[in-house]
Chains A and B, each alone.
Chain A
Amino acid sequence: MKTDVPIRKLPTGVPGLDEVLGGGIPEFSFSLIAGGPGSGKTTLGHQILFANANPEQKAIYFSIIGEPPIKMLRYQQQYDFFDAAKVGNGTVRFIHLGQEALDGGMKKVLEAIVAEVERSNPAIVVVDSFRAMVRSTLAAGSDKEIELTEFMQRLALALTSYQATTFLLGEYAEGESDNAVFTVADGLFWLHQAIDRNSVVRKMHVMKMRGQAQIPGLHTARITDAGFSVFPRLLKPAEVVTEHPLKHRLSTGVAGLDEMMGGGIPSGYSVLVAGPSGSGKTLLSNQFVVAGVERGENGIVAIFEKRPNDYLQTTPRGEHFEKLVREKKLEVLYLRPLDLSIDETLVELQSAVRRLGAKRAVIDSLSGLELALAPTFREDFRESLYRMMGALTGLGVTVMATVELEDSYTDLRFSPQGIAFLTDAIIIQRYVEIDARLRRAIGVVKIRSSQHSKELREYEVSEDGGIIVGSTLEGYDGLLTGTPRGGEKGNR
């Protein structure tokens, strides 16, 4: 017989947050939402409140000292989660206790809250903000800390006894703490705004949630018209049953390249296509994704440098792409909000994969992705990429990522910043000068656990924008130096 008490988890109504919390907010818990000015405490409190309030589970929002309630109503109703009907029919009630705070301090506020909770029996209670009251109480003397502790104990006890799930909103600077409050609280959400050069990235840290295992660390967050969204650092891995990757290979859409790769890309692998500007990386990735659609494997293309319309108009197969997009076999994602995070990128990609049932994904390009990221995430680009590749291939998606690589004729590198080792396969595209002409060479550098061609073959771009791989550039030495010797004309 299971003897531990079942704890119902309430949905937060915030995308991504339930996952971070380990399922939701424990019923009857008493949590603190802390953060500096503008960090989103009021918005988060409202969003959770409106997500849970219904005629059987009423909610009360107590405002004490801080933003005037009329201003709060004015701003919060701009969000999609704000349901005016719930306010009108009494499901959500707003009660201002500013006068009680001024007249009688914490004691009067506590009495008012308890009286109202007794009278109306709400299921959700938000108290915003008690911090100014706490500050003035503590400023009155060191002995007041006991009074504060007593206040918190009594408040938590009263609200829990009346089976209310409660959120206290408090303005705290980074590093500030309040033992009396932090100790009593079952949950502690800290909202940060990380400033790095000109960028500001919102992050949420669930420091504490009694009774369940939350995902640790700082999770990127964003506030839009829809309200708060959280992008968990660790996405829940999908259960994907795949056969051994080497048993099933995906065509790149380029016959010669498939041959070089021993039949194609092993299913579920990540492939890096590295080459200088204009070498045809995007063309190759286009052929890869179209080849997939032709075989019933839907695909997504994540772009960072051009807007979707520009991309579709300038890519050689643009019209065909547009047709596939209309048929919902292909989706072009343009991810360039300000101060992008890798977690947000992953959530968008994962959502698109699920939406389309995609089996192929193209990231064009990693160079563009790096530039789109907020500075704070660029510093951990390798770690971010590691997580991203792992998360996507974990969904059973075969990923092709392009990366700009300046031709270097003195050292052999396959990616900037040493990210090549993160992928399962690497294809390089290079320019070589032969007979005073720029010609293109393609090679397969590695495919994990698989044999592959070691040749450098010439390739061309056809009139319709397709890559055609030709024969091996035989008879030359030093192709990778940029100025090879040998060939039909003999030694130079």
Chain B
Amino acid sequence: MLAYEETTGSAAGEATTAAGRVYDKLTTHLTPLIGAAGLQALLARSIKLAARDELASLDEVSVLQGAPKLRDWLETQDPRAVAESAAVVFDTFFALLSTFIGERLTIQMLRSAWPTVEEPAPNESTK
């Protein structure tokens, strides 16, 4: 998703960085489904889990205000510097979402924002 946003640029939305655009799209496409509070809770949890992977740069992002601070942090930091951290956070987020609603449904949700995301093969779907 980061690579996709890097190549498509900032044609839409307010975010100026690829990571910021990923964040905004997640918000737009997942909030109707799981609610703003639900999304914030999952992102906060993802940051917490990602920070355990010794990404020191995430220490400054408070868990309690994790998600809004995350967006600010993604937007204001040097994109090259945050690329690795952002990837870890978003990876963690998608893994967490899959844990709750399954890989297939997660990917279908993501495809609504990023049509190039591949569907899992039928024997990979969980039910």
Question: Taking beta carbons and an 8 Å cutoff, which residues of A are in contact with B?
Answer: 68-71, 73-74, 77-78, 82, 84, 87-90, 93-96, 98-99
B38 within 8 A of A: yes
A-B pairs, top 7 by smallest CB distance, nearest first, are: A88-B108, A96-B35, A73-B101, A95-B32, A70-B34, A98-B35, A74-B100
Q: A88 contacts B34, CB within 8 Å?
A: no
Separation of A224 and B33 alpha carbons in the complex (Å): 26
Which residues of B lie under 8 Å from residue A78 when comparing CB positions?
127
Q: A69 contacts B34, CB within 8 Å?
A: yes
Which residues of A lie under 8 Å from residue B32 when comparing CB positions?
93-96
Other-chain residue from A74, A96, A99 in contact with B101 (beta carbon distance below 8 A):
A74
Q: B108 contacts A84, CB within 8 Å?
A: yes
Q: B38 contacts A87, CB within 8 Å?
A: no
Q: B37 contacts A98, CB within 8 Å?
A: yes
Which residues of B lie under 8 Å from residue A68 when comparing CB positions?
34-35, 38
Which residues of B lie under 8 Å from residue A71 when comparing CB positions?
100
Q: B125 contacts A84, CB within 8 Å?
A: yes
Q: A96 contacts B127, CB within 8 Å?
A: no
Majority secondary structure, B binding face: helix
Count of chain A to chain B residue pairs whose CB atoms are closer than 8 Å in the complex: 59
Q: A77 contacts B37, CB within 8 Å?
A: no
B102 within 8 A of A: yes
Given the interface pairs A88-B108, A88-B111, A96-B38, the reply to whether A77 lies near B101 with Cβ below 8 Å is yes
In the complex, 13 of the A-B residue pairs with CB atoms within 8 angstroms, ordered by the A residue number, are A68-B38, A69-B34, A69-B38, A70-B33, A74-B100, A84-B104, A84-B125, A84-B127, A88-B104, A88-B108, A93-B32, A96-B31, A99-B36
B105 within 8 A of A: yes
Q: What is the chain B residue whose CB lies nearest that of A99?
A: B36
Q: B105 contacts A95, CB within 8 Å?
A: no
Separation of A87 and B42 alpha carbons in the complex (Å): 21
Question: Taking beta carbons and an 8 Å cutoff, which residues of B are in contact with A?
Answer: 31-38, 42, 97, 100-102, 104-105, 108-109, 111-112, 125, 127
Q: A77 contacts B38, CB within 8 Å?
A: no
Q: A84-B127, A88-B104 are in contact. List 7 more A-B contacts (CB 8 A).
A: A70-B97, A73-B100, A77-B102, A82-B127, A84-B102, A96-B33, A96-B35
Q: B105 contacts A84, CB within 8 Å?
A: yes
Distance between A261 CB and nearest chain B CB, rounded to angstroms: 54
Which residues of B lie under 8 Å from residue A82 when comparing CB positions?
127
Which residues of B lie under 8 Å from residue A93 when comparing CB positions?
32
Distance between A76 CB and nearest chain B CB, rounded to angstroms: 10
Which residues of B lie under 8 Å from residue A89 when comparing CB positions?
108
Separation of A95 and B42 alpha carbons in the complex (Å): 17
Separation of A96 and B102 alpha carbons in the complex (Å): 19
Which residues of A lie under 8 Å from residue B100 when comparing CB positions?
70-71, 73-74
Which residues of B lie under 8 Å from residue A95 when comparing CB positions?
32-33
Given the interface pairs A77-B127, A99-B36, the reply to whether A70 lies near B108 with Cβ below 8 Å is no
Which residues of A lie under 8 Å from residue B111 when comparing CB positions?
88
Q: What is the chain A residue whose CB lies nearest that of B96?
A: A70
Separation of A68 and B97 alpha carbons in the complex (Å): 13
Which residues of B lie under 8 Å from residue A69 when comparing CB positions?
33-35, 38
Distance between A140 CB and nearest chain B CB, rounded to angstroms: 23
Q: What is the chain A residue whose CB lies nearest that of B111?
A: A88
Separation of A78 and B102 alpha carbons in the complex (Å): 10
Separation of A89 and B109 alpha carbons in the complex (Å): 9
Which residues of A lie under 8 Å from residue B38 when comparing CB positions?
68-70, 96
Other-chain residue from B31, B105, B125 in contact with A73 (beta carbon distance below 8 A):
B105
Which residues of A lie under 8 Å from residue B36 when comparing CB positions?
99
Separation of A165 and B100 alpha carbons in the complex (Å): 30
Separation of A89 and B33 alpha carbons in the complex (Å): 14
Distance between A83 CB and nearest chain B CB, rounded to angstroms: 10
Which residues of A lie under 8 Å from residue B35 when comparing CB positions?
68-69, 96, 98-99
Separation of A90 and B115 alpha carbons in the complex (Å): 13
Which residues of B lie under 8 Å from residue A84 when comparing CB positions?
102, 104-105, 108, 125, 127
Q: What is the chain B residue whose CB lies nearest that of A94?
A: B33
Distance between A103 CB and nearest chain B CB, rounded to angstroms: 10
Separation of A88 and B108 alpha carbons in the complex (Å): 5
Q: What is the chain A residue whose CB lies nearest that of B35?
A: A96
Separation of A90 and B32 alpha carbons in the complex (Å): 13
Other-chain residue from A77, A87, A90, A96 in contact with B34 (beta carbon distance below 8 A):
A96
Distance between B92 CB and nearest chain A CB, rounded to angstroms: 16
Separation of A70 and B125 alpha carbons in the complex (Å): 18
